[in-house]
Structure 1
Amino acid sequence: MSKTFAILLARLIFGAIFAMAMSFKFMDIQATASYIAAAAFPFPLFLAWIAAFFELALTLAFLTGAFFSEASVLAGIYVIFLAFAFHGPSHWSANQAEFGFFVDHFTFLAGLLYAAVHGPGDALVLKARSPLMAR
């Protein structure tokens, strides 16, 4: 498998995961707001919309390669926040499967951190990058 193909496939997987999450939110924003409210966050509908648009931005960054490293870092922070907020230790006693969901977020974080360091590759990349992450 060539390096270029592997990088493009990884970007597609990252983009698809966030695109699916985003589409579920846009298709039923009230269900997302209810899930957020069940975790005792204030302003659940507002947060649901913020999450949906944030996931849209992440999807675009992963698929285009624009601001890829920054998006990878932000996605990693987001994923770990979600792990603790919705699958953390307070959820394990009621459902042990939650521990598995919690741990899965850390494997996702590992991939995102690797992507942040190594960048979007050279193929099919918009060249919009922040000077903060210049190499």
Structure 2
Amino acid sequence: MTTTSDKAGWTTAAILAGRLIFGFVFIMAVSFKLMDIGGTAQYIAAAGFPLPTLLAWLAALLELALIGCFLTGAYFSEAALVAAGYVLFLAFAFHGPSHWASNQAEFGFFVDHFTFVAGLLFAAVHGPGRMLAINSRGLLRR
């Protein structure tokens, strides 16, 4: 039989794990950008966007901000919504229908972005949880 306190324990752990996963996905993304910002700019230019170096740096800054929000819980719901929009944009801009004819794997990459967006939207609705989350009054505790 499950008690309320048991449920609170596993849900808190699941929320924290989800926040860590969101954070680490963006840590990996920004790491690759910062290791080769020129390569990232070339990729952006190949997709037809102007000012690719500026856009690469702006993407890196956005991802750093998202990491901070996901790991601290500060502005978590807002960050999850921004991240969902960003990931949706990336899906269409870099893996959308125009890419499918030349490389069928692009369709898989496109669909993967939607599963991530679904998780981000769910997280935006439910928030960062009550543990290890910063709000305007400081660190939240149960």
**Alpha-carbon displacement from aligned partner over 1:58-103 (angstroms, at most 9, x marks no partner):** 0000000000000000000000000000000000000000000000
Inter-partner Cα distance in structure 1 for 2:77 and 2:112: 21
Give the Cα separation in 2 of the matches to 1:15 and 1:121.
Answer: 15
Q: Identical aligned pairs, as a percentage?
A: 68
Alignment equivalent of 1:93, drawn from 75, 98, 101: 101
Alignment TM-score, normalising by the size of structure 2: 0.89
Match of 2:45 among 37, 42, 46: 37
Q: How many residues are paired up?
A: 129
C-alpha displacement of 1:28? 0.8
Partner SS, residue 2 of structure 1: helix
Aligned counterpart, 2:14: 6
**Contact 1:39/1:86 (CA < 8 Å) preserved in 2?**
yes
TM normalised by structure 1 equals 0.93
- C-alpha distance in 1 between matches for 2:113 and 2:45: 21
Where has structure 1 moved over 6 Å in runs of 4 or more?
none
The residue number in structure 2 matching 1:22 is 30
* Runs (5+) with no aligned partner, structure 1: 130-135
Corresponding residue number in structure 1 for 2:4? none
How far is the alpha carbon of 1:127 from its aligned partner? 1.0
Looking at structure 2, the residues matched to 32 and 116 of structure 1 have their Cα atoms a distance apart, in angstroms, of 28
How big is the alpha-carbon RMSD for the aligned residues of Structure 1 and Structure 2?
1.1
> Where does the alignment leave 5 or more consecutive residues of structure 2 unmatched?
1-8, 138-142
Larger Rg: 2
